[in-house]
Amino acid sequence: MYHEKLRLFSGTSNPPLAQSICDHIDHPMGDLYFQRFSDGEIFLQVRETIRGLDAFFIQSTSKPCNANLMELLIFIDAAKRASARNICVVIPYFGYARQDRKSAGRTPISAKLVADLISRAGATRVLTLDLHATQIQGFFDIPVDNIFAIPLFSKDIEEKNNLDDIMIVSPDVGGVVRARALANRLHVDMAIVDKRRPAPNVAKVMNIIGDVAGKHCILIDDMVDTAGTLCGAAEALLEQGATKVSAYCSHGVLSGPAAERLADSCLNELVITDSILQPDRIMDTGKVRIISIAPLMGEAVTRIYDARSISSLYE
């Protein structure tokens, strides 16, 4: 259905997802022109009037995260100067979310910095999916709708598995809340992988909390980056008697050696959303399956525009 005062625009980070969202709500994509100068500077122009309208800009701040973030900020500025009534940034994957606290002396809280940049640039609302830490919502001075992929994962698991054999597993202690929410939805048991992380992107699995023998273990996390944690956890679970190990992650960052690790791993499959556009090298591993968040995000966009409840989408 066409919404008279709604305009949807796509950044360059994930045009297929943006188009899918537009298709889902049966609304045309807005006309936006991009250009990069030879030194890398970004220029964009909104090629239609948005004066007094609600502008939604769909852009994940994934790799290249700094360029995609700058593109987002420049759109906000352009929309503000074009007199848009509201500027809602739809950020399926919110980069810098892992830096949500001071982890050591003299380190930044980059998630707060990025939140300030978006707020000060002129955005009036943020729509995102599965923030790495939910308290990041409090870093913003504007409303934030953080929706969850767990309902999508729960439905997919129910459709493709015998729940009598399923056990949900958190890959670390910090993910227990997420794992418990999925386990409660499916009415199955839960286990925890206890690990130590001696350095960034390096994880050493220590032991398994829970009896996983004879179970199809499903690891659940908000993101997978280099895949070291998932692959290590899968090996540990199989050593403890699990019959099969799969993983569901909201955001497939999948950088560095992730493709090689997945291809060589004992994971049965990795299920991710399309919050981040995946290169061929990831899909060619044969281990990755994608679930689209376009219907979920599209419904959230229309509910924001119509001033209706968002929380009922995932409760």
Lookup: tokens for 20: 């899918």
* Annotated binding-site residue? 228: yes
Distant-in-sequence contacts of 22-27, Cβ < 8 A, 24+ apart: 22/298, 23/294, 24/294, 24/295, 24/298, 24/299, 25/1, 25/298, 25/299, 25/301, 25/302, 26/1, 26/2, 27/1, 27/2, 27/3
* Annotated binding-site residue? 132: yes
* Annotated binding-site residue? 130: no
Q: How many residues does this entry show for the chain?
A: 315
* Annotated binding-site residue? 165: no
Q: Which residues of 42-72 are buried (b: 16+ CB within 10 A; e: fewer)?
A: bebebeeebeebbbbbbbbbbbebeebbbbb
Distances (CA, A) of 230 to 6, 23, 79, 224, 309: 40, 34, 40, 8, 35
* Annotated binding-site residue? 61: no
* Annotated binding-site residue? 281: no
* Annotated binding-site residue? 99: yes
* Annotated binding-site residue? 194: no
Q: Is 80 a catalytic residue?
A: no
* Annotated binding-site residue? 78: no
Which residue out of 80, 195, 215, 244 is catalytically annotated? 195
* Annotated binding-site residue? 197: yes
* Annotated binding-site residue? 229: yes
In Å, how far from its chain's centre is CA 180?
19
Binding site residue list for D-ribose 5-phosphate: 197, 221, 225-229
Annotated binding residues for ATP: 39-41, 98-99
Annotated binding site: 39-41, 98-99, 132, 172, 197, 221, 225-229
Give the active site residues: 195
